[in-house]
Amino acid sequence: MDKKVKQEPESHSDVKQSRIENLETLGPYILEQDNAKNFVYVSDIPQLCKDEPCMLGVDEAGRGPVLGPMVYGIAFCPLSKKDILKQLGFADSKQLTEEKRDQIFDEMNRKDFAKTALGWAVEAISPNVISMCMLRRTKHSLNEVSMDSAIGLINSAIDAGVNIAEVYVDTVGPPEKYQAKLKAIFPKFKITVAKKADSTYPIVSAASIAAKVTRDHALKVWKFRERPNEEVTSFGSGYPGDPTTKKFLGEIDLVFGFPRLVRFSWSTAGNALEKKAYDMEFEDETDAKDAEKASYGSKKLSKYFATSKNENRKRHEYFRERCLEHVADI
Name residues whose C-beta falls within 8 Å of residue 78's C-beta, 6 or more positions apart in sequence: 48, 49, 52, 53, 54, 55, 117
Handedness of CA 250, 255, 257, 259 (dihedral sign): negative
Cβ neighbours of 297 (radius 10 Å): 6
60 annotated ligand binder = yes
**Dist CA 106 CA 20 (whole Å):** 10
Name residues whose C-beta falls within 8 Å of residue 196's C-beta, 6 or more positions apart in sequence: 92, 170
59 annotated ligand binder = yes
**Dist CA 201 CA 205 (whole Å):** 7
Name residues whose C-beta falls within 8 Å of residue 289's C-beta, 6 or more positions apart in sequence: none
3-state secondary structure at position 72:
strand
DSSP annotation string for 115-159: HTT-EEEEEEE-HHHHHHHHHSSS---HHHHHHHHHHHHHHHHHH
**Dist CA 39 CA 241 (whole Å):** 28
Q: How many CA atoms lie within 13 A of 102 on its CB side?
A: 10
Q: Which residues pair with 60 in a beta bridge?
A: 72
Instruction: Identify residue 247 by its one-letter amino acid code.
Output: K
144 annotated ligand binder = no
Angle, CA of 250, 254 and 258, to the nearest 5°: 55
Residues belonging to the binding site are: 59-60, 170
Q: Which residues are annotated as a binding site for a divalent metal cation?
A: 59-60, 170
